[in-house]
Amino acid sequence: MRKTATRLADGREIIYYDEGHGVRRELPDLRDLPPAASGSELRWDPLRREHVILAAHRQGRTHLPPSDECPLCPSLGDRLTEVPSSSYDVVAFENRFPALSGSQGRCEVVCFSSDHATSLAELGPERLRTVVDAWADRTDELSARPEVHQVYVFENRGPEIGVTLHHPHGQIYALPFVTPRTERDLESARLHRDGTGRDLFADILESESAGPRVVLRNEHWTAFVPEAARWPVEVHVYPHRAVPDLPALNDAERTALAELYGDLLGRADRLYDTPLPYISAWHQAPVNDPGLRGLARLRLELFSVRRAPGKLKYLAGTESGAGVFSNDVAPETTAQRLREA
C-alpha cells in the first residue's frame, strides 16, 4: 500500500491509501474554498457526568445531494469535489464540517471507494484489507496528538440511520475525552477483574464461542450476537488475541478481519429485501492512560434499527427516556438467520 498525504484548498489534510505503489497523488485542489467551518463547543452535563458537543455550524453541511453532485466522488472535468483526483482506492481527509476541530480534537472522513454505487460489503477482501490498514494508520497518527484521549472509528450506513451522503464512507473522531460508553465498559471490566482475577472480554468471548449465537469464526476472529442484544440485528466481532486497538493487529489478523467482516456485511445485506441500514463501531482503548489501556480490548459492534421487512425499531419512552432497552427479536434467532443468509 502506498500512502500519500497532501492538502486541500482550505488547508485541510487529505491522505490517499493506494493499492498500487506506482500511483502518484500530487494533484492540487483547484477550488476556491472559504476556511473550513468550525466553532464547536464542549459542555459538561453534571447530572450524567458526560460531555456534550455543540456544533451549530454543522446545520449547513451538505445533505443528501444527487449522485452527480456528491462531494465524495472523484473530481472529473469541471466538477471539483473533496477528492482532487479522477479515481482513488481509499482516501481519508479532515471533515469540512467537523463536530470537533483544533485543540478540541479532529474529525475525518474515510471513503472506501471512488465508486459511488458500491458498498463496503461489495468491495472484496483486498479492498477491505486496505480499509483496515487505513483505519489502523489513522488511529496511530491521531492517537499521537496531545489533546486526543480516544479514537473512535465508525460507519453510518443507510438513510434510516440518518446519513447525509450516500457514497460508501465512514468517519473517525479523535476525541479529547474518553466516551461515556467506554468508561462504563472499562469500569465493568475493572470490577470483574477485581472480583475474579480474569479478563471480562476474554470471558465473554469464551462463553459465546461454543454457543448458539456464533455467526462466523476464523483463526483470528469470532463474530457473535450477544446474549443481551439491544438491537434487532446486533453482532459483536472480537479478535482472539487481546489487543488494545487497530494498530496492534498483526498482518495475519488484519487479513482475517477483512475476510470475516466482508462475509458478515454480505450476510447482513441478505437478511431483508433491501440493504441493511447499520452503524458499525470500533471500540478501541483510550490513549495516554496505561491503566485504562490495560483493561480495554479492541472489538467491533455492528447494529441495525431494522427489525423486519418494512419495519424499523424506534427508541421508545423506556429506551430514550430511561435507558432500558427491549428487543423484539431473540438474539439466537438473529444469529441463526445470519448463519443461513
- CA-nearest of 186, 191, 219 to 290 is 186
Cell of 222: 469470532
Cell readout for 107 is 474529525
Among 149, 166, 167, 169, which one carries the catalytic annotation?
169
Catalytic residue flag (residue 169): yes
N- to C-terminal Cα distance for the chain?
Answer: 33
> Which of 174, 181, 340, 195 lies closest to 268, judged by CA?
340
Report the distance separating Cα 303 and Cα 313, nearest Å: 11
Catalytic site residues?
169
